[in-house]
């Protein structure tokens, strides 16, 4: 049977450590000392190790207790945050500009979940060209843009690095000479990574300016392509890692329109996007 760390037990433990005394912790929590002691013993039973040194002078954490403290504090903090976020009803409009490869990944589900939590809010996702994204950003139609750092319409608030992997089309021989390659026709980190990484004869078998087109070409067995792992069909995985060179990471970042600072809905969407990558 799976063991769970109960919030009430973790709160009792953290309070006892901070107070340095079970009696003082019991007073803080509005409990009796025997009841608090029982909760601490129960937590030790779940963890399987003593968490507190008990003496007439009070309590101090054991080695196991010291290891548990940061986890307990994080769990308690997340519990408060979750209750705060889910009980607050957000309204308004938030436009999000996403690289198509990201829109096709788990981020869409993240935004859909957020929209369900706040039915009074309107979320809009745009996947357009760099020039159109800049125009939408400048006009205020989108407030957040998550894209390759060089393509952002403003300075990044934060950045992340994501890997690229080889996707192999159905029936494609990765040892073929020349190697058939499926490329994104627009200049991007994906296209650059393929061109700069391949150190053997290759040819362009197919080009498309969309992820849908690249995936269709791979399913048709036209060649190999560089994709984010989230967009890789299991059937496209490369089973011979030494046959193709390792692809570099790409750097993505988030730009936020400066006029939206302090807006609760925009804050919530930015937080959701960042957590999706953590």
Residues 225 and 240 reside in one and the same domain? yes
Distance CA 132, CA 31 (A): 60
Is 1 contained in some domain?
A: no
Residues 56 and 72 reside in one and the same domain? yes
Of 77-81, 119-123, 212-216, least confident by mean pLDDT is 77-81
Q: What is the mean pLDDT of the chain?
A: 88
Distance CA 85, CA 268 (A): 8
**Token pair belonging to 61:** 């954490």
Residues 169 and 157 reside in one and the same domain? no
Residues 127 and 261 reside in one and the same domain? yes
Is 141 contained in some domain?
A: yes
Residues 12 and 83 reside in one and the same domain? yes
Residues 236 and 189 reside in one and the same domain? yes
Is 65 contained in some domain?
A: yes
Residues 153 and 183 reside in one and the same domain? no
pLDDT at position 43 is: 93
Q: How many C-beta atoms lie closer than 10 Å to residue 217's C-beta?
A: 20
User: pLDDT tens, 199-212?
Assistant: 999 999 999 989 99
Inform me whether the pLDDT recorded for 167 exceeds 60.
yes
Residues 181 and 236 reside in one and the same domain? yes
Question: What residues contact residue 38 under an 8 Å CB cut-off, 6+ apart?
Answer: none
Residues 57 and 14 reside in one and the same domain? yes
Distance CA 261, CA 66 (A): 38
Domain end marker among 33, 60, 87 = 87
Domain end marker among 49, 64, 87 = 87
User: pLDDT tens, 135-145?
Assistant: 999 999 999 99
Choose between 155 and 85: higher pLDDT.
155
- State which residues form the domain around 170: 164-248
Residues 260 and 132 reside in one and the same domain? yes
Residues 122 and 222 reside in one and the same domain? no
Q: How many C-beta atoms lie closer than 10 Å to residue 170's C-beta?
A: 12
User: Could you give the maximum distance between any two Cα atoms of the chain, in Å?
Assistant: 79
Instruction: Write the CATH number for 52.
Output: 1.10.10.10
Classify residue 89 by its DSSP letter: P
Distance CA 19, CA 21 (A): 5
Gyration radius of the chain over CA positions:
26
39 burial (CB, 10 Å; 0-12 / 13-18 / 19+) is buried
Going by their DSSP bridges, the two strands 144-148 and 92-98 should be labelled as parallel
Instruction: Write the CATH number for 123.
Output: 3.40.190.10
Question: What residues contact residue 4 under an 8 Å CB cut-off, 6+ apart?
Answer: 46
Q: How many C-beta atoms lie closer than 10 Å to residue 21's C-beta?
A: 15
Is 2 contained in some domain?
A: no
Is 178 contained in some domain?
A: yes
CB distance 169 to 182 below 8 Å: yes
Number of domains in the chain: 3
pTM: 0.66
* Length in residues, the chain: 278
Residues 34 and 152 reside in one and the same domain? no
Domain end marker among 38, 72, 87 = 87
pLDDT at position 83 is: 65
Is 81 contained in some domain?
A: yes
In 130-164, which positions are buried (b, 16+ CB within 10 angstroms) versus exposed (e)?
beebbebbeeebbbbbbbbbebbbeebeeebebeb
């Amino acid at each position: 049977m799976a063991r769970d760390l109960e919030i009430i037990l973790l709160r009792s433990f953290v309070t006892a450590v901070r107070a340095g005394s079970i009696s003082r912790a019991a007073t803080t929590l509005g409990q009796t000392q025997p009841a608090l002691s029982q909760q601490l013993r129960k937590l030790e039973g779940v963890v399987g190790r003593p968490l507190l040194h008990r003496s007439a002078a009070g309590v101090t954490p054991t080695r196991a207790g010291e290891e548990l403290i940061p986890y307990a504090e994080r769990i308690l903090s997340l519990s408060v945050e979750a209750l705060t976020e889910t009980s607050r009803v957000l309204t308004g409009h938030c436009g999000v500009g996403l690289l198509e490869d990201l829109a096709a990944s788990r981020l869409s589900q993240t935004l859909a979940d957020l929209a369900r939590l706040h039915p009074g809010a309107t979320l809009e996702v745009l996947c357009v060209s760099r020039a159109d994204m800049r125009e939408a950003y400048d006009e205020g139609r989108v407030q957040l843009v998550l894209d390759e750092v060089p393509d952002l319409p403003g300075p990044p608030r934060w950045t992340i690095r994501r890997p690229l992997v080889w996707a192999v089309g159905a029936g494609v021989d990765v040892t073929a000479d020349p190697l058939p390659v499926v490329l994104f026709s627009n200049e991007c980190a994906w296209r650059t990574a393929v061109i700069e990484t391949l150190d053997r004869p290759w040819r362009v078998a197919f080009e498309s300016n969309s992820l849908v087109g690249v995936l269709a070409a791979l399913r048709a067995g036209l060649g190999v392509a560089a994709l984010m792992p989230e967009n890789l069909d299991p059937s496209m995985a490369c089973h011979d890692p030494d046959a193709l060179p390792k692809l570099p990471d790409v750097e993505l970042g988030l730009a936020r329109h400066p006029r939206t600072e302090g807006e609760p809905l925009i804050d919530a969407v930015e937080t959701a996007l960042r957590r999706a990558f953590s």
